Amino acid sequence: MIANLRILFVAAAFLAVSLALLPVQLAAIASGHGLMRRLPRWWHRMMCRVIGLKVVVHGEISERRPLLMVSNHISWKDILVLGSVADVVFIAKSEVRQWPVFGWLARLQRSVFVNRTEPRTTGKQISEVSRRLIAGEIVVLFAEGTTSDGNRILPFKSSLFGAASAALPFSPDKTVHIQPVTIAYTGIHGLPMGRFHRPVAAWPGDVALGPHLLRVLREGALEVDVVISDPVPFAVAANRKQVAREVETRIRTALAAALRGKLPR
């Protein structure tokens, strides 16, 4: 009974907040007002509170630009988590655009949709990401290319760093700063989250979204650590694969520390 009431409360709060902010965001996008970058952060913060996501941030986001934020990917909740930490835009796979509710939200967030199955569109998509970076926006890349089980980091796809390469010629110092960010779901109802409860947080690609979403809403009270590491400079002479490996190593190390409870509180 209580779990069902929680779901109703979250649904009502989602509709109330979203419908209240929707016309403001649409107007900001239409006019190009800077509010279109800041408003999603307010929405994400409110939704984290409503759902019960307690986000603890370790480290600081770099003030250097262009800035590409590279993160591991565990669940749809990662969008709420990172969106609550900074004014960001996401690189998303093209099929997300068609998802009910989530696709609508992604468009309002001004996400860049990438279709990896059609090489002829790759250049245009990379150019759009590059344009966002040069404009000073923080772009988030989930370099694994899919979601994991939350206990490990999947191999990074260095090809996804192509947008950073495209932005290099337009950067004032001919450098794009790549900041590793690690997401770790570490607690549930005030207790450490072990492997048994990790499926509550993780959303691997073969798990249906509906049942997983309902389970998260019923549980609530999830603790999330976000570890922001020092940025890795990506210059003209840098090797893309080496940079991808360096970023992957930092995120892998941070995830291991978070899951073992080694982060400062």
Q: What is the pLDDT of residue 128?
A: 86
Q: What is the pLDDT of residue 20?
A: 94
Q: What is the pLDDT of residue 205?
A: 66
With a CB cutoff of 8 Å and minimum separation 6, the contacts of 2 are none
Query: What are the Cα distances from residue 148, in Å, to 17, 151, 153, 198?
Result: 30, 8, 7, 11
pLDDT above 70: residue 203:
yes
CATH superfamily of 53-259: Glycerol-3-phosphate (1)-acyltransferase (3.40.1130.10)
- What is the DSSP code (8-state) at residue 55? E
Q: What is the pLDDT of residue 221?
A: 83
Q: Please say whether the beta carbons of 160 and 143 come within 8 A.
A: yes
Q: Over the chain, what is the mean pLDDT?
A: 88
With a CB cutoff of 8 Å and minimum separation 6, the contacts of 77 are 51, 53, 185, 201, 203, 216, 222, 224
User: How do strand 53-58 and strand 222-228 relate by DSSP bridges?
Assistant: parallel
Q: What is the pLDDT of residue 57?
A: 97
For residue 142, list its beta bridge partners.
71
The 10s digit of each residue's pLDDT in 27-73 is 999 999 999 999 999 999 999 999 999 999 999 999 999 999 999 99
Q: What percent of the chain has pLDDT over 90?
A: 55
Q: What is the pLDDT of residue 62?
A: 96
pLDDT above 90: residue 114:
no
- Domain residue ranges of the chain, discontinuous segments joined by +: 53-259
Whose tokens are 């952060």? That residue is 41
Q: What is the mean pLDDT of residues 196-218?
A: 77
The 10s digit of each residue's pLDDT in 139-163 is 999 999 888 888 899 999 887 788 8
Q: What is the pLDDT of residue 224?
A: 96
Reported as a pLDDT band with limits 50, 70 and 90, residue 129 is confident
Q: What is the pLDDT of residue 215?
A: 81
Q: Please say whether the beta carbons of 77 and 221 come within 8 A.
A: no
Q: Which amino acid is at 176?
A: V
- Higher confidence at residue 202 or residue 132? 132
